[in-house]
Amino acid sequence: MKTPVMVLARGDLKLIIRDSTLVMALFGPLAITGLLFSLPMIESLIISRFSFDPSPYRLFIVCFLTQIPGMLFAMIYGFIILDERDEEVIEFISITPLRKQGYLTYKLIMPMLLSVVFFLLIFYATALVPLNPLHGLGIAMMVALEAAIGTLFLVVFSENKVEGLAFSKLLGIMYLAFPLVFFWDSGWHWLSAFLPPFWIAKAFLHSHLGSPWIWSDIFFGVIVHVVILLFFLKAFLRKR
């Protein structure tokens, strides 16, 4: 017997193959992986060409780059949902046993899974900066929740793919919290605590410094992520 989820997964696969979205979906994360592997080379290059030593920024750069695949997966699934809303697939599914909630659960779990796998894989495979595996799991949890937030952000605020594309540019701005946490020495940087990546950046930093605050970062980080996720979830279910 085919479960509704299997039907959906097969549908996605078809969509991905038809649109050759797969190429795109894999290209971005793979490009980031390539970039990470060649980071030491690029660093020495920057020193020689621009007489500027970027090595103190390595932790920041690695943390930042490892977030990008998750964001790309969030965008791809956001676009798939926008597509299916256009073609009224969602209306059709909401009257099947799967219901709208089931549909959404599935469409959010996929980017979450993909981004966690990619995050852990490229972080530990490149091994550019050390990270305690327990801390890594805590951060991975936030990375997963953030992918779901990204997907929902696009579908809640945009009506079609043109708008989705414009808003995907804004999605990146969330990650502004990263430089603020890393480089702003004033207590004012706490102003960005409402941005989910703020807590990821904090956790990275505290883990690196060996500070016990890492656990409170993960605790509050997950809470912030869940609250925002629930807010977007409600907004999506209310929409049409």
Residues that bind other proteins (CB under 8 A): 19-21, 23-24, 27, 45, 49-52, 79, 83, 86, 158-163, 165-167, 169-170, 173, 176
Look up residue 75 and give its two tokens: 């965008």
Residue 191 has a CB neighbour count (10 Å cut-off) of 13
Shortest CB 125 distance to other proteins, Å: 24
Query: Min. distance of Cβ 214 from other proteins in angstroms?
Result: 27
C-beta of 120 vs 201, nearer to other proteins = 201
| Cβ-defined contacts of 80-84 (< 8 Å, 24+) | 80/12, 80/15, 80/21, 80/107, 81/107, 81/151, 81/154, 81/155, 82/154, 82/155, 82/158, 82/160, 82/161, 82/164, 83/15, 83/161
User: Which C-beta is closer to other proteins: that of 2 or that of 240?
Assistant: 240
Q: How far is the CB of 49 from other proteins (least distance, A)?
A: 6
Q: How far is the CB of 165 from other proteins (least distance, A)?
A: 5
**Cβ distance to other proteins smaller for residue 15 or 121:** 15
* Cβ distance to other proteins smaller for residue 166 or 223: 166
3-state SS class at 43: helix
